[in-house]
Amino acid sequence: MTEQSPALQNLLTENRTFPPDADFSAQANAKADMYDKADSDREAFWAEQAERLHWDTKWTQVVDWSNAPFAKWFVGGKLNVAYNCVDRHVEAGFGDQVAIHWVGEPGDTRDITYAELKDEVCRAANALLSLGVRPHDRVAIQLQMIPEAIFAMLACARIGAMHSVVFGGFSPTALRSRVDDAEAKIVITSDGQYRRGKAAPMKANVDEALEGAESVEKVIVVRRTGDDVPWKEDRDLWWHELTGAQSTEHKPEAFDSEHPLYILYTSGTTGKPKGILHTSGGYLTQVAYTHQNVFDHKPGEDVYWCTADIGWVTGHSYIVYGPLANRATQVVYEGTPNTPHEGRHWEIIQQHKVSIYYTAPTLIRTFMKWGDEIPAKYDLSSLRVLGSVGEPINPEAWVWYREHIGGGRTPVVDTWWQTETGGIMISPLPGVTATKPGSAQRPLPGISAKVVDDSGNEVPHGGGGYLVLDKPWPSMLRGVWGDDERFKETYWSRFSSQGYYFAGDGAKYDNDGDIWLLGRVDDVMNVSGHRISTTEVESALVSHPTVAEAAVVGASDPTTGQGIVAFVILRGSAADGGEQAVQELRNHVAKEIGPIAKPRQIMMVPELPKTRSGKIMRRLLRDVAENRQVGDVTTLADSSVMELISAGLKSGK
């Protein structure tokens, strides 16, 4: 693994451990014997976990893997996901408990109790029904972190429609391809969003995206900024008018355990994002089980805050479905962490007495950069569990997080999982595990994972290779929307003879058998915890008229994990490629995909290094991007290419 950042290489020699505190262990949800229990009878273990949900009809079989890789969990069971996340808590007498402490970026707030949440979700469900939305229909949602985003997702779940949430920062082109692929009937968006103190338009982008989109019948618009928006009389509806006119009563229907719940698009190794499909009973079981045990969540006592955006899977599983199924009281924050100042998160934690905080390494490293004195100004003593997700966390950041945010007391749980896995798979259990900075450590009870070599044989302790999941799990993806072949090819063909799921991540075992994640082994970059494929950015670049060819690599970056570095060959007629051309290309990528995909650096080069079969050797480009000695060039079709590139770069071209 020569491609790792210094921070990642560090982890291979990291040997500090933090044993659980006895008082914490005594009250912890997770118990050490869960591993053995789950090992001795996996199905019985998951059956017990499923009992935490309300089933209208009980399942007859825990898992059906006879048609692998297409799994069925809790076969024959029927449930309503939204009922499980909302109504049952109200019926149990917790209607007055706050479900969501919402904090708007400009400082406005809204507390929503479970009883209010139920009313809002029912209104939204009735509204969707009034527009003719039926089970299996797709509803696209492009919204920032406002309560309506959660109401809309739960309303879909309640009536058996599927949501497809598209990150608010995605461009019209990216939204359009997702709307078309899912053939969404309804799109829900807002007039605009607050971002770093300013109102930015949303509806205008959605209008641009939907120009001529055939599947879309109605667009529902949440009023947030109050700015004027263009309006299509026969298509557009205001959320407040539409839902305001609806009843707060709606009887939830029980759907099959395998009823589709949502599609969420994620980057793969090709340019076209994959619509990851998740279903109901198994998904809700695993996200609720993991949320309770990995975060030691206690309903009615904890105040939980996951800083993710609902545009990503972490927002789906650990803001919406897991926490609400577990009757959490949670903070939902609309804005950026430095608006209006760099202590915003700590101020919110102090004010709401947040006890569980779940964020991403890229943000932790940003906090480190901003300075220790900022969190030190706030009372963070309410915190008792800290979580990390999205990319490997370097030991420095892990230890800083525990010291400066967790007061040297709190367990830190580094949770490995993916859009495809639906829920957390590998993580320490607070109160049970002696944690190691930088390691996600062990598969959770009920989950099985291995590190294997090229032929699929498990590597010995101390060895490295590929991470695979060797047994089905309840919240696993059920497919790629509309593309069974791609599902099989992407995840199940690499180790098909063993029947393993290939995660696309490199990993190693340490001498204790704990797992350390080492980053992607495919052409997927991880920028601030967001997955972006090299091909996606390359296609955006070559769609610009001045670009002849482009190759993109993820180069290690001290803050964002990886940064996007592009190598571009301009067309003969195009100008020399000065600063202006670079800016124009960066903006072009932002327009095509979204600002998160903007290359950190674009280098204009005369040639790209290719093998004889024409495959771009990204490894060599990564060497250049990371200022390393260029590696072995013997398989290049033309071995002088790298010299040309280096010479061109040195002369400032």
Annotated binding site for CoA: 195-198, 314, 338, 528
Contact 208, 175 (CB under 8 A): no
Contact 538, 271 (CB under 8 A): yes
CB of 346 to ligand 6R9, least distance (A): 23
How far apart, in whole angstroms, are the C-alpha atoms of residue 144 and residue 103? Answer: 12
Contact 534, 526 (CB under 8 A): no
C-beta of 440 vs 550, nearer to ligand 6R9: 440
Partnered with residue 165 across adjacent β-strands are: 141
- Beta strands in 114-204, from DSSP E residues, in sequence order: 138-141, 162-165, 186-190, 192-195, 198-201
Check binding of 468 to ligand 6R9 (CB under 6 A): no
Name the token pair of 154.
């739960």
Q: What is the contact mask toward ligand 6R9 in residues 16 to 55, using x (rule: CB under 6 A)? A: ----------------------------------------
Which residues fall in the annotated binding site for Mg(2+)?
542, 544, 547
CB of 416 to ligand 6R9, least distance (A): 4
Check binding of 504 to ligand 6R9 (CB under 6 A): yes
Nearest to residue 33, comparing CAs of 432, 362, 482? Answer: 432
CB of 278 to ligand 6R9, least distance (A): 12
C-beta of 391 vs 538, nearer to ligand 6R9: 391
Name the token pair of 277.
């499909």
CB of 502 to ligand 6R9, least distance (A): 11
Contact with ligand 6R9 (CB under 6 A) among 3, 236, 505, 510: 505
Contact with ligand 6R9 (CB under 6 A) among 79, 477, 517, 602: 517
Q: How many CA atoms lie within 13 A of 199 on its CB side?
A: 14
Check binding of 536 to ligand 6R9 (CB under 6 A): no
Distance of CA 3 to the CA centre of its chain: 23
Contact with ligand 6R9 (CB under 6 A) among 116, 391, 538, 557: 391
Contact 223, 192 (CB under 8 A): no
Contact with ligand 6R9 (CB under 6 A) among 314, 359, 533, 556: 314
Name the token pair of 94.
């917790």
Check binding of 392 to ligand 6R9 (CB under 6 A): yes
Check binding of 119 to ligand 6R9 (CB under 6 A): no
DSSP tag of 418: -
How far apart, in whole angstroms, are the C-alpha atoms of residue 584 and residue 544? Answer: 9
Site stretch for ligand 6R9 (CB under 6 A), options 11-19, 103-111, 215-223, 526-534: 526-534
Contact 382, 355 (CB under 8 A): yes
CB of 266 to ligand 6R9, least distance (A): 5
Tell me the site size for ligand 6R9, rule CB under 6 A. Answer: 23
Site residues for ligand 6R9, 576-595, by CB under 6 A, read none
Site residues for ligand 6R9, 610-629, by CB under 6 A, read none
Site stretch for ligand 6R9 (CB under 6 A), options 186-194, 248-256, 386-394, 634-642: 386-394
CB of 10 to ligand 6R9, least distance (A): 14
Contact 387, 357 (CB under 8 A): yes
Check binding of 389 to ligand 6R9 (CB under 6 A): yes
Angle between helices 172-182 and 579-592 (to 10 degrees): 30
C-beta of 402 vs 531, nearer to ligand 6R9: 531
CB of 205 to ligand 6R9, least distance (A): 22
Site residues for ligand 6R9, 395-424, by CB under 6 A, read 414-419
C-alpha distances in angstroms, 533 versus 127, 228, 274?
Answer: 37, 36, 11
Check binding of 562 to ligand 6R9 (CB under 6 A): no
CB of 506 to ligand 6R9, least distance (A): 9
CB of 209 to ligand 6R9, least distance (A): 22
Contact with ligand 6R9 (CB under 6 A) among 440, 447, 564, 604: 440
CA dihedral for 121, 124, 210, 212, sign (positive or negative): positive
Q: In what order do the strands lie in the sheet with 260-266?
A: 236-238, 218-222, 186-190, 138-141, 162-165, 260-266, 274-279, 479-480
C-beta of 256 vs 296, nearer to ligand 6R9: 296
Phi/psi at 162 (5° precision): -105, 135
Check binding of 80 to ligand 6R9 (CB under 6 A): no
Q: Which three-class secondary structure state does DSSP give residue 459? A: coil
Check binding of 304 to ligand 6R9 (CB under 6 A): no
276 dihedral zone (left: phi>0; alpha: psi -120 to 50; beta): beta
Exposed/middle/buried for residue 576 (C-beta within 10 Å: 0-12, 13-18, 19+): exposed
314-317: which pairs have CB atoms within 8 A and are 24 or more residues apart? 314/358, 314/389, 314/390, 315/165, 316/153, 316/165, 316/262, 316/264, 316/278, 317/283, 317/287, 317/291, 317/422, 317/423, 317/424, 317/475
CB of 391 to ligand 6R9, least distance (A): 5
Contact with ligand 6R9 (CB under 6 A) among 436, 531, 544, 586: 531
Which residues fall in the annotated binding site for ATP?
390-392, 414-419, 505, 520, 531
How far apart, in whole angstroms, are the C-alpha atoms of residue 298 and residue 24? Answer: 13
CB of 424 to ligand 6R9, least distance (A): 8
For the chain, the C-alpha Rg in angstroms (whole number) is 24
Contact with ligand 6R9 (CB under 6 A) among 384, 520, 544, 598: 520
Check binding of 476 to ligand 6R9 (CB under 6 A): no
Scan for tokens 């007039």, then name that residue: 191
Site stretch for ligand 6R9 (CB under 6 A), options 38-46, 47-55, 232-240, 306-314: 306-314
Nearest to residue 385, comparing CAs of 401, 400, 397? Answer: 401
Which residues fall in the annotated binding site?
195-198, 314, 338, 390-392, 414-419, 505, 520, 528, 531, 542, 544, 547
Contact with ligand 6R9 (CB under 6 A) among 49, 266, 539, 562: 266
C-beta of 194 vs 501, nearer to ligand 6R9: 501
C-beta of 194 vs 417, nearer to ligand 6R9: 417
Binding residues (CB under 6 A) for ligand 6R9: these are 266, 312-314, 389-392, 414-419, 440, 503-505, 517, 520, 526, 529, 531
